[in-house]
Amino acid sequence: MGRIFKYLKARQWLYVFFCFVFVVLGVCLELKMPDYMSKITMLVETPGSEMSEVLKQGGMMLLCAVGSMITIIVTSFFAAKVGAGISKTLRDNVYNKVMDFSMEEIGRFSTASLINRTTNDITQVQMLFVMGLSMVIKAPIMAVWAIIKIADKNLQWTTATAVAVGVLILMLLTLMIFAVPRFKKIQTLTDNLNRVTREQLNGIRVVRAYNAERYQEEKFKVANYALTNNNLVVQRLMAIIGPVMTLISSGLSVAVYWIGVILIENAAVTDKLTIFSDMVVFTNYAMQVIMSFMMFAMVFILFPRAQVSAKRILEVLDCDPRIKDGMGYDKVTEAKDGMGCDKVAATKGSIEFNKVSFRYPDAGSDAISDISFKAGKGETVAIIGATGSGKTTLINLIPRLFDVTGGEVLVDGVNVKDYTLEELRDKIGYISQKAILFSGSVESNIGYGGGNRPQATEDDIKKAAKIAQSDDFISKMPDGYASRIAQG
């Protein structure tokens, strides 16, 4: 989890500093209020006290309350800025990293998991920063400060507070032991539910064609039940925290007042007022101690799931893509010319497979083995074979969607591994086995084939559509090439 902090930018660290300053200021104001309450109690119990003095102390107490509220609002504002900032940075980094993944890495993580890591997991981390930042800073400061304030008070009261804190810590540790493994499981089960849902939506035509709705419903029910059951266990564990916290804080208040009654009963007449005033102040400070540990409890609720999410995010960011840029076509050709090799330009427009073999990750045998052929400029080559014989696999090796496990693939006489990925794919007109449409217009979808080149003109797009024999039906659409289409 700590490594996530390196993705905080300088401005966000400044916001963290502001959070710290305003939290300290807020704690100072909150811990001042019991002192004013003690003074008011003493004034009320003392005969002949001026009402103006009572109102003065009450006004100071009110100012502290208003000031504390303002510090909370300001702290929440800066915490939200930090949370939103780091979530944006993480989303950008994860998205850019996924864009560099080969099909092998995408297959290893799965599409559903990558979507979940980019959205849900980052949201969990953001929630921890937004809600936890102020609490993580405030809780220890308030706890230490309040403990210092009550340390020199009555030993019986201090002992009662220590027992309450001990019970609270024991309860939190017990809950975390049972809850953390469940939090880890939630993200995996969420991935599985997303995967089943995507399968259902992507394959809806096949599902309906084969009357397989009931089968898919059962698959969804199994995934949904597993996630629901796990969530229920976690929520039941977390639901215990609230009542136990209330029981401990109420029990501590009763204990302090009960001890106070005994002390007042046994004290001299002149000391009764002082003990009563100390009891009121001590109760407030004791509640501040319990409140600080309640804040820790709220952070503990968020932390396990955020920690799991952070680990999953870092798995993506730490993954080293297997397919990387080569040194580039120009540098390779210059190097070959310098060594007196044959001119690479002589093979312009050619594709050659030289004893190529390929095996999918974790597969027991090669998908294709020892394939050799050459397609020259202007030639048409058809690859014929049964379903599953490796035709698509063979084509996917040219733009380096996968890398060969043996032999080499040459484009224009240069090994595809020596190209940068951008310049290699810029040379290839690729039509996937499965047609893909992106949300937008017909025009934007056709122009998508231009890649990083300057935006295609209207004439270029129409020319491409005519070559693909699509111009007639596109022209008949309501808005022609500007017609909107959905993803599919």
Rounded to two decimals, the pTM is 0.75
Start-end of CATH 1.20.1560.10 domains in the chain: 2-318
Which pLDDT score, from 0 to 100, does residue 221 have? 93
pLDDT band at 336 (very low <50, low <70, confident <90, very high): low
**More confident of the two residues 25 and 148:** 25
Q: Which amino acid is at 35?
A: D
What superfamily would CATH give domain 329-426?
Answer: P-loop containing nucleotide triphosphate hydrolases (3.40.50.300)
Is 60 exceeded by the pLDDT of residue 448? yes
Q: Name which of 467, 367, 350 is nearest 416 in CA terms.
A: 350
Which pLDDT score, from 0 to 100, does residue 349 have? 81
Topology of domain 2-318, CATH: ABC transporter transmembrane region fold (1.20.1560)
Is 90 exceeded by the pLDDT of residue 228? yes
Is 90 exceeded by the pLDDT of residue 93? yes
pLDDT band at 339 (very low <50, low <70, confident <90, very high): low
Is 80 exceeded by the pLDDT of residue 432? no
According to DSSP H, which parts of 319-447 are helical? 329-338, 391-396, 421-426, 442-447
Which pLDDT score, from 0 to 100, does residue 453 have? 62
Sign of the Cα torsion 423, 427, 432, 438 reads positive
Buried b (16+ CB within 10 A) or exposed e, 319-335: eeeebebbebbeebbee
Distance in angstroms (rounded) separating the CA atoms of residues 172 and 162: 15
pLDDT, tens digit (0-9, with 9 covering 90-100), for 28-48: 888 888 888 878 877 877 777
Start-end of CATH 3.40.50.300 domains in the chain: 329-426
Is 90 exceeded by the pLDDT of residue 89? yes
Q: Name residues whose C-beta falls within 8 Å of residue 166's C-beta, 6 or more positions apart in sequence.
A: none
